[in-house]
Structure 1
Amino acid sequence: MNNQYEKISVNKDQVLEKLEKAVAELANITIPDDIPHGDMPGDKVEIGDSHRAKAKTIFPQLVKELKTAMNSNPYARAVVAVCGGSGVGKSEIASCLSYLLNSAGIGSYTMSGDNYPHRIPMYNDAERLHTFRVAGIRAMVDAGVMNSENYAKVKEWQIAEDDANKAHAETDTWFSSYLEGGKKALNDYLGTPKETDFEEVDSIMKAFKDGAKDLFLKRMGRDEASLWYDQVDMSNTQVLIVEWTHGNSDYMSQVDVPVLLNSTPQETLEHRRSRNRDGKLDSPFTMMVLELEQQKLVDQAHKAKVIITKAGELISYDDFKKLYGMN
């Protein structure tokens, strides 16, 4: 992919000098409501005071990490990943960070990782549910609890879209096999190459860090006719910010500064509800997805260079581990 791109020329010393001044100018920068945001078609981004405050809290630490990454890159470029649970405010905070960098004269572009699943949202949601249900039914067979009576109950719960409800296993203990089998298969799908083209995202990041003047970036809407690529001018861009739940994934190798926005699945659900992004936000299946994604974020947190809590406090990884009762 890199070979198709024309390379930029850059005054590295000048870029690093601007980076040095960026924090000093922070107090003088006001982040307006209407600023450029990520490139996911139709994404609803509303900048609030909490997003501004968190971005300004993150910024000095981000600049510190960028100095190291950009100094070691021949084009003075770096990739930042703003990651966290669904609905935690990644789009808003990434947009604010990008605005702060641009205001300091350091070109920044915000890219949405949600453009890179293999399937458009409605089909990916369906694939997630199908994966869960097929594995759940198979697990019932393996556990020796598949019979017409139990199947009738499962079908009833499936029709009601309540078949990920843990409460059913309290009264029908055999149902735990369905839940456990389905959850394992769902976990093996979420945030993996089965769901997302990580290879393409990684190659875009590498092309950027290798000095590409332009990048072809994917756009994925919510229907089959909304899928295309835009050629984006990167000639004056030094920082590529990727806002994405899976921005700190082990399937990517080109992220220089992972920034983790920490929150619980319950907190992210409330934010998703306020944005009205999806239907049935509080369904048991949606909660299961959020919980599994949260666990992946926890497992990957040791790589984060910056961690900020829902309350807006910067914490170390050791502090993060204490929050989750980890040794």
Structure 2
Amino acid sequence: MNSKFNKIATDTSVLEKLNATLTFVDGVNIPSDIPHGDMPGDKIEIGDSHIAKARTIFPALVEQLKKAAASNSFGRAVVCVHGGSGVGKSEIASILSYMLTSAGIKSYTMSGDNYPHRIPMYNDAERLHTFREGGVRALAASKLSNPSVIAKLQELQKADDDANEAHISEYDWFMTYLDGGRSALENYLGTPKEIDFEEVDSILSAFLNGADKLWLKRMGRDEASLWYDEVDMSNTKVLILEWTHGNSDYLSNVDIPILLNSTPEETLEHRRSRNRDGKLDSPFTMLILNIEQEKIKSQASKAKIIITKSGELIDFETFSKLMA
């Protein structure tokens, strides 16, 4: 779809603008209603911590953009803002985009959440099915499956409690089920089985190769919220992809990965505070978050910029110690 396009003229003027950017943006006010990612129904709530982190990231981003733009004939670069649940990807990506655009370097924020193969409701169901199918396959392969085991397992499944590690000590077969389910889920989450990485990468490639317009997917939460928009990119120099999977090995056209880091403990506390009754997420949701966290961690060596939840820029060595 984005393989044929007209190209913009080659341009090196962005380097001059980048050199003047840092002085300019120091005084830029960040309103609460700035443009944000392009996922239908997506809402952001910008707080002081998001603004502070974006301002901390910005000078390092400018230095990376100088290198990327200098090596691109069209003065363009692709940035990804990625990280786990609750780190403020949408907010910080939107602020960075706003700061760049305010400095005369037009930027577009693209949401990777438009590119799973299924709308959220069906993808959630596929995740659960994948986990459970992997679990029962493991039980059968280990010759642990029998009518009494299946009856108990179905009780746990109906209660949405079949990913709860507490049952390991109760049932001698449960570890086999849990390991089999987790393995199956690891082979689904954040892979081409779940997400159309090929389409995302083709968009990024077209942008870097000077496309004046791009067809971008829009996918909301219901079956009727699915379409494509043709977006004018003729004056856009920076494409910011905000997405949990923005630093995935399945993408090859990201110039500057920015990791918004959060330790498992910080993520857990964030989600607990976000729930009105203070309760934790379901065991299955926590399993998904843990798998995503491990994948983000395994890809972190590629990040050009890493910032902690407290707003400190760190290198990969410090990150590794923090996450050990």
Secondary structure, aligned partner of 1:110: strand
**1:320 equivalent in structure 2:** 319
CA RMSD of aligned residues (A): 1.5
* Partner residue, 1:309: 308
Could you tell me which residue of structure 2 aligns to residue 4 of structure 1? 4
1:201 is matched with which residue? 200
Distance 1:272 1:214 in 2: 38
Cross-structure match for 1:235: 234
CA distance in 2, matches of 1:218, 1:166: 38
SS in 2 for 1:189: coil
Q: Aligned residue for 1:259?
A: 258
SS of aligned partner of 2:43: coil
Aligned to 1:230, what secondary structure does the other structure show? strand
Partner of 1:157: 156
Check if 1:140 corresponds to 2:139: yes
CA–CA distance in structure 2, aligned partners of residues 318 and 15 of structure 1: 32
CA distance in 2, matches of 1:2, 1:246: 21
Q: Which residues of structure 2 form unaligned runs of 5+?
A: none
C-alpha displacement at 1:313, in angstroms?
0.5
How far the C-alpha of 1:188 sits from its partner, in A, is 0.4
Cα deviation digits, residues 117-136 of structure 1 (max 9, x gap): 00000000100000000010
Q: Distance in 1 between matches of 2:144 and 2:153?
A: 12
Distance 1:120 1:8, change over 3 A: same
Aligned residues of 2:25 and 2:102 also touching (Cα < 8 A)? no
- Which residue type is aligned with residue 291 of structure 2? L
Aligned counterpart, 1:248: 247
User: Structure 1 pair 147/308, CA: closer, same or farther in 2 (3 Å)?
Assistant: same
State the secondary structure of the residue aligned to 1:133: helix
CA distance in 2, matches of 1:314, 1:305: 11
Give the aligned partner of residue 111 of structure 2. Answer: 112
After superposition, where does 1:169-184 map in structure 2 within 5 Å? Answer: 169-184=168-183
User: Displacement of 1:9 after TM fit?
Assistant: 1.8
Is the CA contact 1:85–1:265 (under 8 Å) kept in the aligned structure 2?
no
Contact 2:90–2:242, Cα closer than 8 Å, also in 1 = yes
TM-score for the superposition, normalised by structure 2: 0.96
Aligned partner letter, 2:69: M
CA distances 1:66-122 after superposition (whole Å, capped 9, x unpaired)? 100000000000000001012321000000100110111000000000000000000
1: distance between equivalents of 2:267 and 2:87? 5
Residues 120 and 220 in structure 1, CA contact (< 8 A), matched pair in contact too? yes
Residue by residue over 1:118-174, the C-alpha shift from the partner in whole angstroms, topping out at 9 and shown as x without a partner, is 000000010000000001011111122211221111101100111100001122131
Matched residue type, 2:37: G
Look up the match of 1:24: 23
CA distance in 1, matches of 2:273, 2:8: 41
Instruction: Provide the rounded CA distance (Å) in 2 between the counterparts of 1:240 and 1:298.
Output: 24
- Aligned-partner Cα distance in 1 for 2:263–2:40: 27
Q: Deviations over 1:35-81 (max 9, x none)?
A: 00000111121111010000000000011111000000000000000
1:82 is the counterpart of 2:61: no
Mind listing any 5+ residue stretches in structure 1 that lack a counterpart?
none
**1:265 positional shift:** 3.9
2:94: which partner in 1? 95
Contact 1:109 1:239 in 2 (8 A): yes
> 1:87, 1:269 within 8 Å by CA — same for their partners in 2?
no
Q: Number of paired residues?
A: 321
Runs of 4+ in 1 over 2 A off after TM superposition: 1-4, 264-276
- 8 Å contact from structure 2 (residues 271, 281) kept in 1: no
The residue that corresponds to 1:298 in the other structure is 297
**What amino acid maps onto 1:120 in structure 2?**
I
